[in-house]
Structure 1
Amino acid sequence: MRLLHFADLHLDTPFHGVGPRHARTRRAALRTTLRRIVALAREQRVDALLCGGDLYEHERFSPDTAAFLRDAFEEAAVPVHLAPGRHDRYGPRSPYRQVAWSSNVHVFAEDHLVAETLADGVTLWGAAHRGAAEGDGFLEDFAVDREGVHLALFHGSELTGLAVQEGGRTPHAAFTADQVERAGLHHAFLGHFHVPRDAERHTYPGNPDPLTFGEGGPRGAVLHTVHDDGRVDRVRYDVAASRVHDVAVELDGVADADRVRERVAAAVADLEGVVRVTLGGEVGPDADLRPGDLTRCAPHLEALGVRLGSVRPAVDFAALAGESTVRGRFVRDVRADGRLDDDTRRRVLVTGLRALDGRTAELAVL
């Protein structure tokens, strides 16, 4: 049996911080990604397409998205099983209840695992999130009640991966890896963690299209071949319609804004899609760093964002402290202030020196 598994697409997510036009482009890309997943299901002639939740975001769902999902899954022409998650939970006003799904679509609607037969001797157990917060995980006190190969589809936090996946946040519908085996399940197809993970008895596919910067790993859709003894082989497919990059640009030795633009342009020249640049290094004291002015360095990109990282002005404060001037007295006083940490002291010094030079327009850049 061949099953195609994905999760955490998050249709209609707002993409805060990138501007309205670009946010619309990114949301359109999420739809393209789902079309690619559906096309892959047809191409690979899978026996079923599985979604482990967070297919869309309930608070922002529109009638247009409902029509899009209905048509997309009908075009899959294979059985589609959907397990509502945290952001697309099943409820009275849920699109899962309101959409007139085609006959090949099945939505798990119960808040506990219920059985669906995929083939003779193969059972898929699925469950839905029905509230904003969940208590025990779906595997708590659960055990299969029949013979054969048993698979599960749900949205939740596997506890051994919580620190890596969610930075120590409160777990959501938590379970442990050994609960999968103890329940009599051969494999669990999951959603919720955005970092891909292939464990012996469970799989997180990761979000199939980038939702933020810094996402890495072979995420996408996972083709599972389920053997007669319940073993699962996996092949990952890149189905993303978006390309999102994080790039660090070091500015050591740069003395003016033109050189900054040149370095940023060179760093992103071979990239496509959306790029976020983080500036670092020591720059000349007169370099005018305005991140907003650098976003036009690469017109070939869909969008370029620039932020200041560990940028430090290359200023000889010791030499300035030796001056018999107001500037020298200022530097001496700040350097002697024991209440300041090193980073704050440097910022105060640079800001004050620019103010003394009458360069008030540059103060906000710091």
Structure 2
Amino acid sequence: MVKILHSADWQVGLRAQHVARVASDVRKARLEAARKVIREANSLSVNAVVLAGDIFEDNFVEDRLVHEVLAVLADSRAPVYVLPGNHDALTPDAIYRRPSWKQRPSHVFMLDGDSAVPVPRTSAVLLPAPLRQKKGMKDPTAEWAARVDPADIRIGVAHGSLRIEGKYSADDFPIALNAVARSGLDYLALGHWHGQYLHDARTAYSGAHETTKFGEDGSGQALLVEIVARGAEPRLTPVVTGSLAWRVLELDLSQGTGPEVERVRALAAVLPHPERTLLRLRTTGTSADDATSLLNGLEDALWGRGFLHVSVERNDIPRDKAEGRLADIAGSSSLISSLLRELGGPAVPASQAPEEAAVRLAARQVLTELVMEAWK
């Protein structure tokens, strides 16, 4: 039987330039989430904490952060195993070669070699695949088959991208989808993808312990992994570790900026813990002349509610610009020209067809947006 807490991608020292105004808050949250990982590990009485790469943002972070991470790891009651990832690769100038890191507590171990590492007081071994460079085209798990001991529960620890079409690049340490079967593993603990992802019953990314950016679904977690015996299917349980919420709220300005602003204002009003929430307002559609002032007012109001971060991402197109472009295209397209004539044709008395004017306006709006989307 073995029970581990699998985590990865702490990236302590993250620059967070995309939210520069609150970058220091984001960095503090990453350290707090690291403390939460260790607290959860202690609470769950795990046999080991396994960190599958990228504990640091890069090999140039200040020694102060090295000491802070070691202080966090010192509180673990279980042994901690640290794998070098691509951000903190085992290069000649690696953090893991510094005197500061070498002062680590005796229960913090490096997975920096090729040999299987036994987990004390269990029948499990860890098979490490440390990275020694930022990018690479070789599968870091490719050599495990030759050094597997058939007697023990076998847990691979690697950092890279599963070779799933559309989700990896050739220089991103692509990992074969049959790595578990090829090496006779009971579980493959992966790092590199920030969203928690269970590829199958034996292969999983724990996800980053704290969310890094907007749109990073599934992060802010670790994975509790329990394996009762060699060959048994692991029991995988998500463990919440993150503290910040990164929320994107969409505004379709084609529906009218005023109504959309009020809708988003109402949504934001019920979000819990604004002081720990980063908000991005993303606009789409075509917008009227008053859009900028209304959006500025909304942004100011949300800052006033105490949100940690508020930003507006403008993807809408001003209506006069859209209409002008549509007119230009109509001059060289008989199809567009005829559609516009039809949609802007003689008015129908409201008493006879009260919906037709609205339908024509909506159709013209759709046509405008389709043309503008193609133009972009």
Give the TM-score normalised by the residue count of structure 1: 0.79
Task: Within 5 Å, give how 1:23-38 maps onto structure 2.
Answer: 23-38=23-38
Please give the alpha-carbon distance, in whole angstroms, between the structure 1 residues aligned to 2:222 and 2:322.
Answer: 54
Task: Within 5 Å, give how 1:106-145 maps onto structure 2.
Answer: 106-110=109-113, 113-118=114-119, 119-143=121-145, 144-145=148-149
Where does the alignment leave 5 or more consecutive residues of structure 1 unmatched? 322-329, 348-366
The residue matched to 2:256 in structure 1 has which SS? coil
Distance 1:332 1:237, change over 3 A: closer
2:60, 2:95 within 8 Å by CA — same for their partners in 1?
Answer: no
Higher deviation after alignment, 264-273 or 237-246: 264-273
Task: Within 5 Å, give how 1:138-157 maps onto structure 2.
Answer: 138-143=140-145, 144-157=148-161
Please give the alpha-carbon distance, in whole angstroms, between the structure 2 residues aligned to 1:117 and 1:139.
Answer: 18
Distance 1:239 1:346, change over 3 A: closer
Question: In the alignment, what sits opposite 2:230?
Answer: 229
Question: In the alignment, what sits opposite 2:309?
Answer: 303
Distance 1:229 1:288, change over 3 A: closer
Please give the alpha-carbon distance, in whole angstroms, between the structure 2 residues aligned to 1:142 and 1:123.
Answer: 12
1:227 shift after superposition: 1.2
* Regions of 4+ moved over 6 Å: 340-347
Question: In the alignment, what sits opposite 1:3?
Answer: 4
Task: Within 5 Å, give how 1:233-272 maps onto structure 2.
Answer: 233-254=235-256, 261-271=261-271, 272=274
Task: Within 5 Å, give how 1:15-54 maps onto structure 2.
Answer: 15-19=16-20, 21-54=21-54
Q: Percent identity?
A: 21
Question: In the alignment, what sits opposite 1:276?
Answer: 280
Please give the alpha-carbon distance, in whole angstroms, between the structure 1 residues aligned to 2:109 and 2:26.
Answer: 28
Please give the alpha-carbon distance, in whole angstroms, between the structure 2 residues aligned to 1:159 and 1:315.
Answer: 44
Please give the alpha-carbon distance, in whole angstroms, between the structure 2 residues aligned to 1:225 and 1:114.
Answer: 23
1:268 shift after superposition: 1.6
The code of the aligned residue for 1:46 comes to: V
Where does the alignment leave 5 or more consecutive residues of structure 2 unmatched? 337-366
1:150, 1:230 within 8 Å by CA — same for their partners in 2?
Answer: no
1:139, 1:180 within 8 Å by CA — same for their partners in 2?
Answer: no
Please give the alpha-carbon distance, in whole angstroms, between the structure 2 residues aligned to 1:219 and 1:31.
Answer: 12
Please give the alpha-carbon distance, in whole angstroms, between the structure 2 residues aligned to 1:50 and 1:35.
Answer: 14
1:262-287: per-residue Cα shift (whole Å, max 9, x none)? 44422322223101111234443454
Please give the alpha-carbon distance, in whole angstroms, between the structure 1 residues aligned to 2:215 and 2:162.
Answer: 22
Count of aligned residue pairs for this structure pair: 327
The residue matched to 1:76 in structure 2 has which SS? coil
Query: Aligned match of 1:158 in 158, 162, 169?
Result: 162
Distance 1:56 1:316, change over 3 A: closer
Please give the alpha-carbon distance, in whole angstroms, between the structure 2 residues aligned to 1:287 and 1:116.
Answer: 60
Task: Within 5 Å, give how 1:281-292 maps onto structure 2.
Answer: 281-289=285-293
Give the TM-score normalised by the residue count of structure 2: 0.78
Question: In the alignment, what sits opposite 2:214?
Answer: 213
1:253, 1:284 within 8 Å by CA — same for their partners in 2?
Answer: no
2:287, 2:319 within 8 Å by CA — same for their partners in 1?
Answer: yes
Distance 1:60 1:313, change over 3 A: farther
Distance 1:97 1:60, change over 3 A: closer
Please give the alpha-carbon distance, in whole angstroms, between the structure 1 residues aligned to 2:79 and 2:307.
Answer: 38
1:234-258: per-residue Cα shift (whole Å, max 9, x none)? 11011102111111123345366xx
Give 1 or 2: higher helix fraction. Answer: 2
Question: In the alignment, what sits opposite 2:14?
Answer: 13
Q: CA RMSD of the aligned region, Å?
A: 3.1
Higher deviation after alignment, 113-122 or 228-237: 113-122
Distance 1:17 1:193, change over 3 A: closer
Higher deviation after alignment, 49-58 or 196-205: 196-205
1:155 shift after superposition: 0.7
2:252, 2:284 within 8 Å by CA — same for their partners in 1?
Answer: yes
1:157, 1:171 within 8 Å by CA — same for their partners in 2?
Answer: no
Higher deviation after alignment, 288-297 or 178-187: 288-297
Distance 1:314 1:135, change over 3 A: closer
Please give the alpha-carbon distance, in whole angstroms, between the structure 2 residues aligned to 1:183 and 1:252.
Answer: 55
The answer on 1:101 being equivalent to 2:96 is: no
Please give the alpha-carbon distance, in whole angstroms, between the structure 1 residues aligned to 2:28 and 2:122.
Answer: 39
